[in-house]
Structures are given as structure tokens and as C-alpha cells.
Structure 1
């Protein structure tokens, strides 16, 4: 059953890129706190496991980080279709049919979101870039990838097109999907 709004002739309005990037900036501030939780969990697991190899420790910490960030996004996307920054900027994530995401689709979208940072991260790793250069490359990669939404017919991000999801503008106080 589609939950597209009748008031707009059955079409959702995609949020502007400016609003989506502002939401992303706000999200990155909150993700700093989520990263602290991830680091605490990883440190606890390191103490429990007693891993000696630097490579093993890095893999464990990165795995915990991916899992904790994934839990954060999948939880909010499947519960309300919005993280706190998305609520603030009146942006909601729905399926292409206008329905709430299930866990499988939310996990797929989380994995596909790696398209934002993966190319820059791989380049940085291969070229042994220092953290400042890596962060600059990731920022440029995010901006370039985000601008690709201008090439999509409904102005959606390409990972959303791949996953059958879309970002939509919601009226203040009225979620697109209850």
C-alpha cells in the first residue's frame, strides 16, 4: 500500500541539496558522539579479548565502529524514517513506494551509503595519506557524490535509487509515514 500524499498529486518533493548537506553536517556532529560509544565498546572488547597484534586490534575497532554506526542508522530509519538531524531539517526516508523501511532495506541502504566515502578512503589507504589529507579527500568525495543527485530525475541520491528508497520533505509536525 502506497502512502504517497494525495495533496501533492501522489508525488513526494525531494529536499534541496542545501538542506540535505546541512542535515549531513548536523548528523556528523551527532556521529562524533556515536563514535565515542563505539570506541568505548571497542576498548572494552580489546581488554576482554587481549588481542596483541596491531592489525587484529584495528580490525576489531573498525568492525565495532561499522556495527555501532549501522545500528544507529538502521534503528532510526526503521522506527521513524528519521534520525534527529533529519527531524530537524524535515527530511524523511521512505521506500520508493512511500512506505517505512524494513530492516533488510535499511541495512542495504547503510551498506550502499559507503559510496559516499569508500573511494576517498581507499585512495587514502593505498597512498598512505596523513589524516588531514584523508579528511580533505573524504570531504571532496562527499560533495562530489552529493552533487551527482542533480543528475537523477527525482534529485535523489544514487544509493537511494539502488536501494529503492528516497528522501522526502515532510511538513513540520507531520511525518510522511506515521
Structure 2
């Protein structure tokens, strides 16, 4: 008997396997493209509210604002199971037992997901690297970070293992279509 207070399992233990790395990275790239819209709307809102006239004015405050907006975006959708990109690629995020994420766990996953970018950005800042070299280091780090999932027992990304979450294949149940006469 299950505890009525605990959320239902979204998938069985047999279905907790990670989607192939190629599909997860395609979803990751698609998510990045979709975030352009989020950045555009959030940047416009920030610029309007702060009356910023030049892109470099209030730069650090705008970056902090975008960090918070991204956190809200991802925590909201991950707690519901999927972002739009994840729906497209039939990927769902669940906890290690296959249950939906809580807002707190989704937020923790968001914070840990910055491990995709913060280490190379810190190196770039420490050594004052020009844009081209920094881009190369970021791309190299992302590739290494993604390939590290091949060494995890369940093929999960490191930030998912640390957050107690996992990406799983999720095929939505199709509803039968009614005949229209």
C-alpha cells in the first residue's frame, strides 16, 4: 500500500533508464534555442522597468535578473515534469524513485545544472581569456560534462546524480480520436 500523501510514480523501475545521450543533447540544444525567447521577453521587461538605455548599463543586475527568471522557468516546468523541449524529445525529469519533482528539488537541480557553465566561465574570468578561447573552453567542458554520463551506472548527468533526479524516456499516452460526422 502506498502513502496517500506521496506523489504517484510516473514510471516503473524498468522505465527509469536514461534516454540516449544523443537525444538528451539534442533536447539540450533545443532548450537553448527556446531560451532565446525567454531572454528576449525578460530582457525587454528588465530594460523597461529599469529604464536602461544601453546594453552594458546595469549588466550585472540584468544577469542576476535572468538567473532568477531562468530558475523560475526551469523549476516550474521541471516540477511539472517537462519543458517544451523535453516534450518534443519525449524526455521527462523525475526523482530517483520515478516520482514528480518537488519545487525544492527542481530548484536544486537548476542550481546544480550551472555546473555545465560555471567552471569554464570561472577559468575564463581568472585568466581574462578572449571570447574565442573562452567559447572553445566552454564547448570542450560541455562535451566532457556530457560524456561523463557514460560512466554513471544509470547514464545520468552528474548534476542529476547530485540532485537526486534523473532523465527518463517518456512516451505520452495517446488518446483515441473521435470520429466527426
Name the TM-score, length of structure 2 as normaliser. 0.83
Q: CA RMSD in A?
A: 2.2
Q: Is the 8 A contact 1:91 1:169 kept in 2?
A: yes
Mapped to 2, the partners of 1:17 and 1:78 lie a distance apart of 22
Aligned residues: 166
Unaligned runs of 5+ in 1: none
Shift of 1:58: 2.3
Which is higher, the Rg of structure 1 or of structure 2?
2
Map of 1:106 onto structure 2:
106
Map of 1:40 onto structure 2:
44
Shift of 1:11: 4.5
Map of 1:67 onto structure 2:
68
Deviation string, structure 1 residues 103-130 (Cα, Å, up to 9, x no partner): 1001100000011111111111122223
Deviation string, structure 1 residues 121-140 (Cα, Å, up to 9, x no partner): 11111222233332222221
Map of 1:128 onto structure 2:
128
Mapped to 1, the partners of 2:126 and 2:33 lie a distance apart of 28
1:86 and 2:86 are equivalent in the alignment = yes
Pairing of 1:151-162 with structure 2 (within 5 A): 151-162=151-162
Q: Secondary structure of the equivalent of 1:100?
A: coil
Map of 2:32 onto structure 1:
28
Report which of the two has the higher share of helix. 1
Further displaced range: 135-144 or 20-29: 135-144
Q: Is the 8 A contact 1:27 1:85 kept in 2?
A: yes
Mapped to 1, the partners of 2:38 and 2:136 lie a distance apart of 22
Name the TM-score, length of structure 1 as normaliser. 0.84
Further displaced range: 88-97 or 37-46: 37-46
Unaligned runs of 5+ in 2: 1-5, 175-181
Q: Is the 8 A contact 2:10 2:100 kept in 1?
A: no
Mapped to 1, the partners of 2:163 and 2:63 lie a distance apart of 24
